[in-house]
């Protein structure tokens, strides 16, 4: 009796896992195709709703640079000699 209960629970678990995966895959495909146009932030639009491509300011933050690496750079060897003398 115990072996039958374990067998039924394992088969039922695997079956529900497969059905959940298939339903999730179909739902994901359906929801990803619902969005017609990408969302545009309001600050990219002028007063009439047109995109302003030439007035957008972009900032890029670079990682912290090593000062010694910048000082002893091979491209700046002439400048480094000026500092030594």
**40-79 tens-digit pLDDT:** 788 788 888 888 877 667 777 777 666 665 555 555 555 5
| 10-14, 31-35, 66-70: range with lowest mean pLDDT | 66-70
Residues 51 and 44: beta-carbon distance below 8 Å:
yes
Residues 46 and 52: beta-carbon distance below 8 Å:
yes
Q: How far apart are CA 12 and CA 9, in angstroms?
A: 5
How many domains are contained in the chain? 1
Q: What is the mean pLDDT of residues 32-43?
A: 75
Residues 80 and 71: beta-carbon distance below 8 Å:
yes
Neighbour tally for 71: CB within 10 Å: 11
Question: What band does 81 get if pLDDT is binned at 50, 70 and 90?
Answer: low
> Residue 11's domain spans which residues?
2-84
Report pTM: 0.40
Q: Given this model, what pLDDT does residue 3 score?
A: 94
Residues 81 and 73: beta-carbon distance below 8 Å:
no
């Amino acid at each position: 009796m115990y072996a039958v209960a374990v067998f039924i629970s394992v088969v039922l678990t695997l079956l529900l896992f497969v059905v959940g995966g298939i339903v999730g895959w179909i739902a994901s495909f359906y929801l990803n195709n619902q969005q017609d146009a990408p969302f545009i932030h309001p600050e990219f639009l002028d007063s009439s709703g047109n995109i302003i491509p030439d007035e957008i300011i972009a900032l890029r933050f670079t990682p912290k640079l090593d000062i010694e690496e910048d000082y002893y750079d091979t491209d700046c060897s002439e400048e480094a000699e000026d500092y030594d003398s």
